[in-house]
Structure 1
Amino acid sequence: MRKLLQLNSSLFQGGGQSSQLGDAYVERWLQDNPQGQVNRRDLAAEPVPHLNLARFQAFTTPEPERTPEQREVAAYSDRLIAELQEADVIVLGIPMYNFSVPSTLSSYFDHVARAGITFRYTPEGPEGLLANKKAVVFITRGGIYGEDHAQSAYVRQFLGFIGIQDVEIIHAEGLAVGEESKQQALDSAREQIAKVA
């Protein structure tokens, strides 16, 4: 049975445009995978805590030496990672906030980038350990910045860092420019869903 993990990061939760585009993809995916299993995580509704020194030390402390508090922190991260490990397809809904990804998504990334678990260092450089997965990313923006913007590059680089090389990014831009621009961008994104689903 194929599994899909949907990650939403819009402040508007299910009402956000990036979330709705992700929902449209998931609906199409389920048509093609009627026995498929979908796991959804809304990072606005249930934000991942900001990474601080105590949480980082919980990750780097050997398991037998962890305090009860550190074990709880590590177990939380382990659950997030397990969702990624089990998924065949990861769908991310990402609006642009202040030229980057929402802070909740950045915190999520901080909790799933774990040396020895999702990546490892080698003499040739870091190697991602989450191979053979596909990511479909919906990036929505009020303005028009282009597909080569640093936000898109960051998302692609992070996913590649943990081993996810098959990444499809669909942009919907100009959503705040005007109603016509918004509708054209959303219609174009939905047309692309049919091609990549």
Structure 2
Amino acid sequence: MKNVLVIKSSISGDNGKSNQLIAHLLAEGAAAAVSVTEIDLNLNPVAHLAMDEIASWMTPPADRTAEQQALAAVSDDLIAKVAAADAVIIGVPMYNFALPSQLKALLDRLARAGVTFKYTEQGPVGLLQDKPVVFALARGGIYANGPADSQVPFLKTFFNFIGLTQLHFVYAEGLNMGPETAESALNSAQAELKEIAKTLFA
């Protein structure tokens, strides 16, 4: 059975287009033997990273206080979920030209020196076992491959940094540019996700 980790970051809940694209992709794999673990950052947000949490990571586990153990457990749990997954699906709406801050807060817990990456004389090396990562990107305007798209360059850099290189970006753009444009964008994204599902859930 394949283990799939789903990360939702839309503040719109079930009305969020990125969440709807995730639901479409999972529906395409409904007939496959798949176990889904879901993280909904709208329902269960992760706090912004603070120095005392970083200090807990740098303290040997045996020396951590109870407070440090609780702080370190947030990152440890998220990393364990990614490590255990055979594939990761992430919903990424665009808010003010950037990632949702709640998603950035989660990603900050995945970048751990000596755990998910290390530095060598040749540069950084990711330590996570590679696996497919599908990003469902929902945007009100059209930004792909343009200077206003800060999301995809960051996501490529970040996930490559921790060892994940099988990245698939599915765009639904122009969602606020009229109903015809929105419908066309969603249909195109759904068709692309259907193709991805053929190998993702095989």
Indicate the TM-score class for this superposition, using the shorter chain for normalisation. Answer: over 0.9
Displacement after TM superposition at 1:26 (Å): 1.4
Paired residue for 2:200?
Answer: none
**Counterpart-to-counterpart distance in 2, 1:133 and 1:93:** 17
Matched-pair identity in %: 39
**Counterpart-to-counterpart distance in 2, 1:154 and 1:30:** 31
- Partner of residue 87 from structure 1, selected from 85, 88, 91: 85
**Counterpart-to-counterpart distance in 2, 1:109 and 1:36:** 24
Q: Is 2:35 the partner of 1:37?
A: yes
Q: Secondary structure of 2:53's match?
A: helix
RMSD: 1.2
Structure 1 spans left out of the alignment, 5+ residues: none
Structure 2 spans left out of the alignment, 5+ residues: 198-202
Contact (CA 8 Å) 2:126, 2:163: kept in 1 or not?
A: yes
**Counterpart-to-counterpart distance in 2, 1:82 and 1:3:** 12
Paired residue for 1:159?
Answer: 159
Contact (CA 8 Å) 1:131, 1:165: kept in 2 or not?
A: no
1:101-120 alignment runs, 5 A limit: 101-120=99-118
- Partner of residue 60 from structure 2, selected from 62, 69, 75: 62
Paired residue for 2:121?
Answer: 123
Contact (CA 8 Å) 1:130, 1:163: kept in 2 or not?
A: yes
Paired residue for 1:71?
Answer: 69
**Counterpart-to-counterpart distance in 2, 1:24 and 1:15:** 13
TM-score, normalization by structure 1: 0.95
The C-alpha deviation readout for 1:72-108, integer Å capped at 9, x for no partner, is 1111211111110000110000000111100000000
The C-alpha deviation readout for 1:35-61, integer Å capped at 9, x for no partner, is 221111101110011101111111122
- Partner of residue 51 from structure 2, selected from 44, 50, 53: 53
Q: 122-131 vs 137-146, which deviates more?
A: 122-131
Equivalent pairs, count: 195
Contact (CA 8 Å) 1:147, 1:171: kept in 2 or not?
A: no
Contact (CA 8 Å) 2:132, 2:167: kept in 1 or not?
A: yes
Contact (CA 8 Å) 2:128, 2:164: kept in 1 or not?
A: yes
